[in-house]
Copies of this chain bind each other. A is one copy, B any other.
Amino acid sequence: MQEQDDDVELELQVSVAKVGKYATSESGDTLEIVERPQGGLSLVLVDGQRSGRAAKLISNLVSRKAISLLAEGVRDGAAARAAHDYLRAHRRGQVSAELSIVSLDLVTRTIVISRNSHCPVLVVDKDGLHRLDEPSQAIGVYTRTKPVITELSVASDTWIIVFTDGVLDAGRRFGASFDVAGMAAAFIARGDDDAAALADAILARAVELDKGRPQDDMSVLVLALVPRKQIDHARRLTVRFPLPPL
């Protein structure tokens, strides 16, 4: 995977879209974002075992531990191991969670991807599509669980796509399957450089495959490094969600 061209200015785009399982009051997935103390940011996506409130408590516990360590400058692999140890000690090995961490590290100029999940992470760069799907254990249950870590150089036109198993298994109940990689590769090949549009398209397709009633919590995270279009130097963050009814 390639080195950055010195003459291309880049911008980072991150977009997350998530919905809860149909007829549950909240998603059991947690996504948190934190600035790295030396520069850059980390995204932590946790899928707690089961769904609803019980899953949310677990995913929140795990993400809080990982985020607080990353915020202190702890390296990603150590943060993932610590989150595992913490969950396992806290719940005596009875509860598992899937944990993915994606970091843009501005010191090393790399993207670090840590997987404790059976869901693959997709990488699309100038060389094409790469599937990060080395076997990897969920955290919380076994001894000495550790993440599978991939480190990529910061380079233009690099896309990272992370999702939870509600997306991976979308449509399965109805005999269909979701080719997330094919959809992402086609989107990127069209030259559209909008991470939010890709995250929304993947989530919408997953919900559609489940006939409008998500069979599990679904979360999609897209991180893209694309040639800079913004003319100012501003950093921007937006959040949008519907409030639950009273």
Name A residues whose Cβ lies closer than 8 Å to a Cβ of B.
Answer: 4, 6, 9-20, 26-27, 30-35, 37, 39, 41, 57, 60, 64, 67-68, 71-72, 106, 109, 154, 195-196, 199-200, 203-204, 207, 225, 228, 230, 232-246
Nearest B residue to A244 via CB reads B106
Closest to A29 in B: B235
Task: Kindly provide the distance from the CB of A122 to the nearest chain B CB, expressed in whole angstroms.
Answer: 19
B60 to A19, Cβ gap below 8 A? no
Q: Which residues of B contact A35 (CB under 8 A)?
A: 30, 32, 60
* Contact A195 B238, beta carbon cutoff 8 Å: yes
Complex partner residue of A246 from B57, B109, B243, CB under 8 angstroms? B109
Q: In this complex, which of A19, A41, A71, A230 has the most chain B Cβ atoms within 10 angstroms of its Cβ? A: A71
> Secondary structure at chain A's binding surface: helix, strand, loop or mixed?
mixed
Which residues of the partner chain B approach A241 to less than 8 Å between Cβ atoms? 11-12, 234-236
A225 CB, min distance to chain B CBs, angstroms? 7
Tell me if A26 and B39 are in contact (CB < 8 A). yes
Cβ of B239 and Cβ of A6 under 8 Å apart? Answer: no
Instruction: Provide 5 A-B residue pairs closer than 8 Å at the C-beta atoms, listed in order of the A residue.
Output: A4-B246, A15-B237, A19-B234, A19-B235, A207-B232
A13 touches B106 (CB 8 A): no
Which B residue's beta carbon lies closest to that of A231? B242
Give the chain B neighbours of A33 by CB distance below 8 A: 33, 237, 239
Bound CA–CA A154/B204 (angstroms)? 29
CB contacts (< 8 Å) of A12 on chain B: these are 239-243
Q: Is the CB of B19 within 8 A of A246?
A: no
A15 CA to B240 CA, complexed, in Å: 9
Given A109-B246, A228-B242, A243-B10, CB of A196 within 8 Å of CB of B236: yes
**Are A17 and B234 within 8 A (Cβ)?**
yes
A31 neighbours in B (Cβ, 8 Å) = 237
Residues of B contacting A71 in the complex (Cβ-Cβ under 8 angstroms):
60, 64, 67-68
- A112 → B minimal CB distance (Å): 15
| Known contacts A26-B39, A32-B34, A246-B109; is-contact A238 B14 (Cβ 8 Å) | yes
